[in-house]
Structures are given as C-alpha cells and as structure tokens.
Amino acid sequence: MQLNSSISAVITGGASGLGRATAKLLASHGVKVAIFDLQEDLGEALASEIGGVFCKVNVTSTPEVDAAFAKARAAIGQERILVNCAGIGGGAARTASRDRQTGEVKEYPLENFERIIQVNLIGTFRCITKSTAGMLTLEPLPDGDRGAIVNTASVAAEDGQIGQVAYTASKAGIVGMTLVVARDLSGEGVRVNTILPGIFDTPLLQRASEAVKAALSAQVPFPKRLGMPEEFAQLAHTMITNSYFNGEDVRLDGAIRMAPR
Ligand SMILES: NC(=O)c1ccc[n+]([C@@H]2O[C@H](COP(=O)([O-])OP(=O)(O)OC[C@H]3O[C@@H](n4cnc5c(N)ncnc54)[C@H](O)[C@@H]3O)[C@@H](O)[C@H]2O)c1
C-alpha cells in the first residue's frame, strides 16, 4: 500500500504514546488520520496539529464506536488503515493467593479480568470487524490491497509475569486472532498484523522515576534502553506498506524476555 493523501486511517488510542507516534508518522506521509481515544484534550490537540479528526470514544461501547466511525468517515472518508493501540494495564493480582501469616485465601478479582478483556481484546476486535466492514465497500488499490490492520499486543502475551494473568490473556487473545482474521479476510485483500512491544517510553513510564527507568532499561539485552514510540510507528508503517506482510505477530523488544517478576 502506497501512502498518500487519498488514504485514510483510524488509530485507536491515538491521543498518546504508541498510537500518537503512529498517527504523526502516517500523517507525515499525507495520510488523513482519525484519532479514536478517551482523552479529549490530547486528541483534539493532536488532530489539529496533524490536520486530522478526533473522535471521543470508549472502545468498549458499540454505540460509541459506531458513532466514531461515522464521524471519521464523514470527515476524512472510509479508512483503509486501522491501527489498534487503545489498551490498559493494571488489575495485577495472583490467580489465587494465601496469606502466609493468617492463612487467608483470596481468589483473583474477576471484575478486573473482565474489564481488561473488554478493553484490550474485545475493544480491539470490535474495531477490527467494524473497520473491515467499511473497507470491504472500497475497491482494491492497484497492488491488490484493500486495507491493512495493525494491532498492539505485548511481549506479555508470551512472557506473562506474576500477577499479570488478565493483561496476558487479553494480549495473547490478540496474538491468537491475527492469523485467523488474516485468513478470514484473505479473499478480500485486507491484511492483518500484530506488534508485541517490549518496554516502551510512553506517558505511562514517563511518570516513573529515572531509577525505575534505568532498572527497566538494564533488563534489555540490546539496545540497553526503553523503546521509543517512533520505533513502534516505524514497524507499523512497514506492516502497512509492505504488501507481503500478513498474518504475523512480531516482537519489537530489544531481545528482552520478561522474567517471572
Ligand atoms: N508502553 C509499553 O511499554 C507497552 C508495552 C507493551 C504493550 N503496550 C500496549 O500498547 C498500547 C498503547 O500503550 P501506550 O504505552 O501507548 O499507552 P498510553 O496510555 O500512552 O496510550 C493508550 C491510549 O489508549 C487510550 N485508551 C485506553 N482505554 C481506552 C478505551 N477504552 N477507549 C478508547 N481509548 C482508550 C488512552 O486514553 C490512551 O490515550 C496498549 O495497548 C498497551 O497495552 C505498551
């Protein structure tokens, strides 16, 4: 897929971090970008900076997602690109735990599990199915591409750490979807790939102290630093523009393999 001003993109979680860097990179190639996010101030500011449109949306809500796609398509046309970056962490707890002093036993709080699956996994799939339904109304481009989708999982999908069962399950679900969605859409010219980021320097980590950042950086074999959002955007760009890239889950992590904790 060649990027130019005839191409539109939707980027969920595009107001911040990895999605923001991807929005800026695509816009620098002329692509018209719609930012789907909860964060109105950041999203509106970025949209005006890059000449795009901001759509306030919670990806867990079907009516809000429908309204956001309608607004985006009215403003910039039917998208050929969807980049799913909206996601949350948190909910850390062991599968079950026992207090060694009191003997008290606790189950994992299932509401945390449901919340994280709703945003990260079902929110991603909701945007995939609704975006591809729109893409299928377009004619393919000269190279045969009708559309391209990039999802964001995490190295946690493969190296889940203690307490991260909900986040890991949500991201492993995204990894598991990649090939089947690519196969589902293979007759229609829509490609689907997923990035598994290691530890990236996004607003989440920018709040961490320099000592914490240094400790995280030291765990990365090479280069010994956190990933930069622009490096994520560069891989998303390759997945979108290289027409032979399809059905792949790719780690982008400086060779880190997360320890149990
Ligand atoms: N930063 C990392 O080290 C890292 C590592 C692995 C995976 N990831 C994944 O990358 C993605 C982007 O993370 P980031 O680091 O850029 O974080 P971020 O917090 O900077 O950006 C995430 C964006 O998603 C938006 N969002 C969250 N829930 C939403 C919802 N329900 N509806 C709409 N928008 C919502 C947030 O408002 C935010 O703007 C996430 O899926 C995260 O799990 C990040």
Per-residue tokens: 225: 């630093």
* pLDDT interval class at 211 (50, 70, 90): confident
Q: Which residue has the tokens 């229609």?
A: 188
The alpha helices in the chain, defined as continuous H runs, are: 17-28, 40-50, 62-76, 110-116, 123-135, 165-184, 203-206, 210-218, 229-241
Distance 102 CA to ligand 1 centre (A): 38
Which residue out of 10, 20, 85 has the highest number of ligand 1 atoms within 8 Å of its CB and is therefore the one to mutate? Answer: 85
pLDDT at res. 205: 78
Distance 17 CA to ligand 1 centre (A): 7
Percent of the chain with pLDDT over 70: 100
8-202+228-252 adopts what CATH topology? Rossmann fold (3.40.50)
pLDDT at res. 11: 99
Distance 150 CA to ligand 1 centre (A): 14
Residue spans per domain, the chain: 8-202+228-252
Q: Does 50 score more than 90 pLDDT?
A: yes
Protein residue closest via CA to atom 29 of ligand 1: 86
91: left (phi over 0), alpha (psi -120 to 50) or beta: left
Q: How many CB atoms lie within 10 A of CB 206?
A: 10
Residue among 143, 49, 36, 141 at smallest CA distance from 83: 36
Residue among 193, 74, 83, 81 at smallest CA distance from 146: 81
Per-residue tokens: 96: 């079950």
pLDDT at res. 204: 75
Protein residue closest via CA to atom 16 of ligand 1: 17
Asked if residues 216 and 209 have their Cβ atoms less than 8 Å apart, the reply is no
| 93: helix, strand or coil | strand
Query: How many whole angstroms from its chain centre is CA 45?
Result: 20
Average pLDDT of span 16-36? 98
pTM score over 0.85: yes
End-to-end CA distance of the chain: 41
To the nearest 10 degrees (0 to 180), the angle between helices 17-28 and 229-241 is 50
Which residue out of 11, 12, 18 has the highest number of ligand 1 atoms within 8 Å of its CB and is therefore the one to mutate? Answer: 18
Residue among 167, 193, 195, 253 flagged as catalytic: 167
| pLDDT (tens digit per residue) in 110-147 | 999 999 999 999 999 999 999 999 999 999 999 999 99
Output helix, strand, coil percentages for the chain, rounded to the nearest 5: 45, 20, 40
* pLDDT interval class at 199 (50, 70, 90): very high
Distance 7 CA to ligand 1 centre (A): 24
* Neighbouring-strand partners of residue 242: none
- Catalytic annotation present for 167: yes
Which residue out of 16, 159, 250 has the highest number of ligand 1 atoms within 8 Å of its CB and is therefore the one to mutate? Answer: 16
To the nearest 10 degrees (0 to 180), the angle between helices 40-50 and 17-28 is 20
pLDDT at res. 212: 80
Protein residue closest via CA to atom 7 of ligand 1: 154
Q: Which of 45-54, 60-69, 201-210 has the lowest mean pLDDT?
A: 201-210
Residue among 129, 59, 53 at smallest CA distance from 88: 59
CA triple 238-240-241, angle to 5 deg? 65
Per the document, the length of the chain is 261
Asked if residues 152 and 84 have their Cβ atoms less than 8 Å apart, the reply is yes
Dist CA 4 CA 28 (whole Å): 9
Ligand 1 atom closest to Cα of 39? 37
Residues with CB under 6 A from ligand 1: 13, 15-19, 37-39, 57-60, 85-88, 119, 123, 152, 154, 197, 199-200, 202-204
Distance 205 CA to ligand 1 centre (A): 11
| pLDDT (tens digit per residue) in 151-161 | 999 999 999 99
Average pLDDT, rounded, for the chain:
96
| pLDDT (tens digit per residue) in 214-256 | 888 999 999 999 999 999 999 999 999 999 999 999 999 999 9
Asked if residues 69 and 1 have their Cβ atoms less than 8 Å apart, the reply is no
